[in-house]
Amino acid sequence: MLEDKRQIKSHRDLIAWQKAMDLVIGAYQVSKQFPRDELYGLTSQLRRAAVSVPANIAEGQGRRSKAEFKQFLGNARGSLLELDTHLEIAFRLEYLKATDYATLQAQLKEVRLIINGLLRSLTSDL
């Protein structure tokens, strides 16, 4: 699950970023179904949290030090947990179908595991 450092030339090469981008697309697709009156509420919050995950991974990868990369991966993980909370709220409010919720939860878990693996690899290399 860890990235081969020799092959990483940009954030786009990181599996964590690629999978997080897929999660963003899924979040946008399902949130289109939310009630119109949630446009500036839950829809906006959910989308911003989703977008923040790959954005933090990209920004961290572009920094000069492992410590900064770790900090941004931590931010990405925090945004992932925020997204998890927004998805749970949407599900409980019945804005999400069970199948869509399960799919997004599986994607979220995969991204979380990859980010945690990256964090471990950066910690063990210091």
Question: What's residue 49's pLDDT?
Answer: 98
Average pLDDT, integer, range 75-95: 98
State the pLDDT at residue 64.
Answer: 82
What would the DSSP string read from start to end of the chain?
----GGG--SGGG-HHHHHHHHHHHHHHHHHTTS-GGGTTTHHHHHHHHHHHHHHHHHHHHTSSSHHHHHHHHHHHHHHHHHHHHHHHHHHHTT-S-HHHHHHHHHHHHHHHHHHHHHHHHHHHH-
What average pLDDT does range 30-40 have in this prediction? 95
Confidence check: pLDDT of 6 > 70 = no
Does the predicted TM-score (pTM) go above 0.85?
Answer: yes
Domain 13-125 in CATH 1.20.1440.60? The answer is yes
pLDDT in tens, 37-69: 999 999 999 999 999 999 999 999 998 899 999
Q: What residue segments make up the domains of the chain, in order of their start? A: 13-125
